[in-house]
C-alpha cells in the first residue's frame, strides 16, 4: 500500500500519493529534522514512509556523486526541479525568447477539435511532468477527462498547483503522484485503468538521449495499457540562433534556472557549491541535434560533500541538460519503436513545434 493523504476540495477528494521523495523542501527538512507542515508531520510519524524517503535520498546522493565524479562532470536535468526550479521554469515560459510554450499552445488552440476527435472524450488524463498543470487544464473543456492524474518529481509544487486546479474544476477527480519516470515507475491503484491518455508536452522527452527516450516511451507504453494513447509535444530542429536564444534569454532567467541546480544539489548532497563561482552556458550541438546547457567554473575551486570532493579548474564545465530537437520523421519512428502507432500529427503555422497523437499498438 502506498502512503497517501486525502484532501477534500469541492465535491471530490484529491488524493495525493507521496511514495516518492526527492525535491520537496518541506519533506526534506522534515526528514532531516527541520521545519514541518501538517502533511509532513503525518509522514514523519510513519517509520515505513521515512525509510522509503530515506532510500530515495540515498539514491539521489549516489547518483549525484557518480555524475560529479565523472571526468566530464554531469548533473541530470531532473535535479533542476526543486520548488524554486519549478517556478523559474514557469518564468522561462514567459520570456520572449522561449517560443516553445507559445508554439505548442498555438497547436493546442488551433487543433483542439481535431485533438479531441482523435483522443475521444472522457479519458483518464495522465499528465507526465505536469509542473503547474496549466497545459492539461486547457484541454479539460474539450477532453472532459473522467480523472486527472498529475505526475511529477517536484512534489510540493505539484500538490499546490493541483490543489488550485481542483478548486477551479471541482467536478474532475484529481490525483497527484510523486514519481521519477526516468526509471521504472508504477501508477497507484486509484488511477483508472481504462482509456488512459498520457500527456507529455513541452518537449521534455528531448531531455533524454535517443536511447533513453525510447526506454522512457516504452515505460509510458506499459503505463497506458492496451487501450491507451499518448499525446506528446516535441520541439523541431531549426536555425541555431533562435534555439540558442531560447536557452539563454536576455533577462537571465534560464541562467538562474541552470545555476539553481547547484542549490538543489547542495541541499540534497550537503555539498558546498558557491553559485557565484559558476556561469550559465548554452549552445546548439548540430551533430547531436541538441541544445546543451552547462555550468562553467569562473575560478578554480574545490567543491566538497560528506565523504567526497571534486577539484574544478577555471573554465571546466558541468553538463546539466540536453534538449534534443527532432524531425517529424525521426520522432514518429521513435514512437513506433516504443510500441505506439502514430495516427495524427500537428504543427504550428511556423513549423517550430510538433504534437503527435499515438495509440498503443
- Could you tell me the smallest distance in angstroms from the CB atom of residue 210 to ligand SAM? 17
- Could you tell me the smallest distance in angstroms from the CB atom of residue 200 to ligand SAM? 8
Q: Which is nearer to ligand SAM, 198 or 297 (CB)?
A: 198
- Residues 349 and 329: their CA atoms lie apart, in Å, by 18
- Could you tell me the smallest distance in angstroms from the CB atom of residue 179 to ligand SAM? 6
- Could you tell me the smallest distance in angstroms from the CB atom of residue 14 to ligand SAM? 18
Q: Which is nearer to ligand SAM, 153 or 174 (CB)?
A: 153
- Judging by DSSP bridges, how do beta strands 308-312 and 301-305 pair with one another? antiparallel
- Could you tell me the smallest distance in angstroms from the CB atom of residue 212 to ligand SAM? 10
Q: Which is nearer to ligand SAM, 108 or 169 (CB)?
A: 108
Q: Which is nearer to ligand SAM, 55 or 300 (CB)?
A: 55
Cβ atoms of 147 and 118 closer than 8 Å = no
Write out the three cell numbers for 306: 560528506
Residue ranges binding ligand SAM (CB under 6 A): 78, 81, 86, 89, 129-131, 135, 152-154, 179-182, 201-202, 204
Q: Which is nearer to ligand SAM, 165 or 179 (CB)?
A: 179
- Could you tell me the smallest distance in angstroms from the CB atom of residue 216 to ligand SAM? 9
Q: Which is nearer to ligand SAM, 231 or 303 (CB)?
A: 231
Write out the three cell numbers for 241: 540562433
Q: Which is nearer to ligand SAM, 137 or 179 (CB)?
A: 179
Amino acid at each position: 500500500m502506498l502512503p497517501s493523504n486525502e484532501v477534500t476540495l469541492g465535491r471530490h477528494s484529491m488524493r495525493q500519493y507521496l511514495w516518492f521523495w526527492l525535491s520537496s523542501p518541506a519533506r526534506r527538512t522534515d526528514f532531516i529534522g527541520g521545519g514541518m507542515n501538517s502533511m509532513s508531520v503525518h509522514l514523519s510519524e510513519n517509520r515505513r514512509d521515512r525509510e522509503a524517503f530515506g532510500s530515495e535520498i540515498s539514491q539521489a546522493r549516489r547518483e549525484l556523486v557518480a555524475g560529479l565524479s565523472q571526468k566530464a562532470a554531469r548533473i541530470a536535468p531532473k535535479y533542476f526541479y526543486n520548488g524554486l526550479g519549478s517556478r523559474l521554469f514557469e518564468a522561462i515560459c514567459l520570456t520572449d525568447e522561449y517560443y516553445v510554450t507559445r508554439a505548442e499552445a498555438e497547436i493546442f488552440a488551433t487543433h483542439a477539435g481535431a485533438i479531441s476527435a482523435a483522443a475521444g472524450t472522457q479519458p483518464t488524463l495522465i499528465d507526465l511532468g505536469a509542473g503547474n498543470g496549466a497545459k492539461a487544464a486547457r484541454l479539460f473543456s474539450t477532453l472532459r477527462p473522467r480523472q486527472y492524474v498529475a505526475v511529477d518529481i517536484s512534489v510540493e509544487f505539484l500538490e499546490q498547483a493541483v490543489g488550485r486546479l481542483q478548486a477551479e474544476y471541482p467536478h474532475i477527480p484529481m490525483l497527484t503522484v510523486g514519481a521519477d519516470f526516468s526509471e521504472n515507475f508504477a501508477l497507484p491503484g486509484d488511477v483508472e485503468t481504462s482509456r488512459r491518455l498520457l500527456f507529455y508536452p513541452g518537449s521534455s522527452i528531448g531531455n533524454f538521449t535517443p536511447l533513453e527516450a525510447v526506454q522512457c516511451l516504452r515505460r509510458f507504453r506499459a503505463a497506458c495499457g492496451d487501450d491507451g494513447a499518448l499525446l506528446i509535444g516535441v520541439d523541431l530542429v531549426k536555425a541555431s540562433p533562435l534555439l540558442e536564444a531560447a536557452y539563454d534569454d536576455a533577462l537571465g532567467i534560464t541562467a538562474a534556472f541552470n545555476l539553481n541546480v547547484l542549490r538543489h544539489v547542495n541541499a540534497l548532497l550537503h555539498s558546498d557549491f558557491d553559485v557565484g563561482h559558476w556561469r550559465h552556458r548554452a549552445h546548439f550541438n548540430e551533430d547531436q541535434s541538441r541544445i546543451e546547457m552547462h555550468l562553467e567554473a569562473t575560478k578554480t575551486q574545490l567543491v566538497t560533500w560528506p565523504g567526497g570532493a571534486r577539484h574544478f579548474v577555471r573554465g571546466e564545465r558541468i553538463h546539466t541538460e540536453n534538449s534534443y530537437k527532432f524531425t517529424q520523421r525521426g520522432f514518429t519512428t521513435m514512437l513506433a519503436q516504443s510500441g505506439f502507432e502514430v495516427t495524427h500529427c500537428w504543427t504550428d503555422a511556423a513549423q517550430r513545434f510538433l504534437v503527435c497523437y499515438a495509440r498503443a499498438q
